[in-house]
Structure 1
Amino acid sequence: MQKSCVIFFERKFPSANMILIKDQLPILIDTGFGSDTKETEQLMKEAGVSPEELHLIVNTHYHSDHVGGNFYLQKNYGVTIAAHKWEAELINSCDLEACSAEWLDQPVEPYRVDTKLSDNDEIHTGSRTLKVLHTPGHTLGHISLYDPEEEVLICGDLFHKNDIGWLNIFREGVSSIQRSMESLDWLSMLQIKQAYSGHGPQIENPSASIDAARKRFEKWLRAPEKVSWHACKRIFSFTLIMKNGLAKEEIDHYLLKCGWFQDFARYSFQLQPAEFIQVLIDEMIRSGAAIWHNNHLIAAAPYQAPQEKWMKKNIKPKDWKSQDILI
């Protein structure tokens, strides 16, 4: 049989990157955003693995850009899904907080986690063994996967080549910085030749990226407002991507109904939400995260706008039980 290989798909927003382990038991790590399922399927087929052949889907964590393809692949092909046991419990109980989807206003179609993972579990692909590493920070149930033989790390949104994952202090806890630093310290002890993260290009010098990430977290410890600014800009940028921009007259109404916006305004910046609107818009423009175009605020990052028809479904965990959409 042909030697197994790791195939990395760097994807445009709103989808996170995917990693396909092509082996006797093919494994797909993360499945992109829910509107991109046809592309997800096509990417696998082009790599020589049909969805029917998938042995397992592993989610690094439960945010919409990483788990959005789960519903389609599980419903149509019966693929087994694995995730950290803490996030699995929330998903399988249809908890309103699952995926932070309600708080973030990000649609996620329902899925079931069949295999609950813990730290040091092993996932076998045939000729490879991936070790599950619990690396909390970005979410409490965030995991990374490590192949000690090939010295390959799949690190989700813990760190990227030139960035770090945003921290949700209101859903994952104010000690998220310390958890992230502990996770990085653990990874820094591993021999890693190649790393793949949830966003951006593959990481050729993982130790340098880990060091840079740790230094940034250390700065955040000294200036906690940086945590909140980083998160607000990432969340709002993702909103602008999902909605393909917001008209100027829509922004106030939209932001004021968002849980994340309310929390950051009141508790991180000690402002009334209405006062924080212009402050956030100004910072989005100043930092280059967004631009004005034809009276619409548009995300500056390259992206592929979701189909309007798909977005109108707007399915959240609160709908998973009440609608006839469960798998």
Structure 2
Amino acid sequence: MDSAPDADAIARRDPGCCLAEYLDQPVPPYTVDEPLDDGQLLRLGDTDWEVLHTPGHTPGHLALWHPEERLLVVGDALSDYDVGWVNLALDGPDASAAAVASLQRLADLEPGVLLPAHGPIPVEPTTAFANALRRGRRLVDDPDGAVWYGARRIFAFALMIRDGIAADEVEPYLLARAWLADAAQLLRRTPEALAAELVGTMIRSGAVVVRDKRLHAAAEYSPVLPEALRAPYPPAWPAPAGRRGL
């Protein structure tokens, strides 16, 4: 399920699609059968869901709404404990405001049940939205904080999917990442300074722990299978059927 512009980028095997190479988060090759747009009805089984374009976490982020049951699939827009990070470097300085506007649009639906992409189902949707909107507005008011928030999230996820990174490999790993270079520019630091500060602050806060000379994310997680990390980046994906020769 992808928005129409994202689906087109995937069909082209665009280097930037899925942010796979940018974030160093390999994604197995796939194709999009049905691009989706805001307001479209999507038939799943014997149920119709309304597609909602909710930019913020990504420009093409989508949510699904079932008005009769008041079920809302919010994806990465929010969870029971957080909001989706925004990429000010790639999506521009208005990305945080777009995320807040999307959260408000979803909150105005007054859903009875929220289904996030991560974590437990929120017990009280109204409270979950109030907390998410408060966090989202902080990202709008503090652009540097939004950049830091994203950097912490990306680095923690890198540690999770790799089940840790050797302590002596962490700095070279970070300095090879495009997202860190972009964050450093926005924060008016050198990449070397940001890498050191990022690691240091996350260890001091307890978000990252050192065990057996490896850095690990402190949060509970399940590492991915090693072969999943060997998936090629999108430009090397096989061309979709019917689009050979792209």
**Residue 297 in structure 1 maps to residue 221 in structure 2:** no
1:177-198, Cα deviation, whole Å (9 max, x unpaired): 1111111121122131100111
TM-score of the superposed pair, with normalisation by structure 1:
0.70
Deviates more, 1:140-149 or 1:279-288: 279-288
Counterpart contact for 1:148–1:191, Cα < 8 Å? no
The corresponding residue for 2:232 is 315
Identical positions, percent: 34
Aligned residue among 121, 132, 148 for 1:202:
121
Counterpart contact for 2:52–2:63, Cα < 8 Å? yes
**Residue 161 in structure 1 maps to residue 69 in structure 2:** no
Q: Distance in 2 between matches of 1:219 and 1:171?
A: 19
The corresponding residue for 2:200 is 282
**Residue 184 in structure 1 maps to residue 92 in structure 2:** no
Counterpart contact for 1:237–1:290, Cα < 8 Å? yes
1:265-306, Cα deviation, whole Å (9 max, x unpaired): 1x2221111122210111111332211111111011111222
- 128 and 250 in structure 1: CA distance in 2 versus 1, 3 angstrom threshold: same
Q: Distance in 1 between matches of 2:180 and 2:103?
A: 29
Counterpart contact for 2:26–2:228, Cα < 8 Å? no
**Residue 93 in structure 1 maps to residue 4 in structure 2:** no
Q: Which amino acid aligns with 2:18?
A: C
Aligned residue among 190, 194, 199 for 1:272:
190
**Deviation beyond 6 Å, 4+ runs, structure 1:** none
1:42-69, Cα deviation, whole Å (9 max, x unpaired): xxxxxxxxxxxxxxxxxxxxxxxxxxxx
Q: Distance in 1 between matches of 2:228 and 2:55?
A: 31
Q: Which amino acid aligns with 1:162?
A: Y
Counterpart contact for 1:195–1:203, Cα < 8 Å? yes
How far off is 1:321 after superposition? 4.6
Q: Distance in 2 between matches of 1:252 and 1:308?
A: 21
Counterpart contact for 2:28–2:228, Cα < 8 Å? no
Give the secondary structure class of the aligned counterpart of 1:280: helix
**Residue 145 in structure 1 maps to residue 145 in structure 2:** no
Q: Distance in 1 between matches of 2:52 and 2:66?
A: 11
Structure 1 unmatched runs, 5+: 1-81
CA RMSD of aligned residues (A): 1.7
Q: RCO greater where, 1 or 2, for CA within 8 Å and sep 6 or more?
A: 2
- 310 and 124 in structure 1: CA distance in 2 versus 1, 3 angstrom threshold: closer
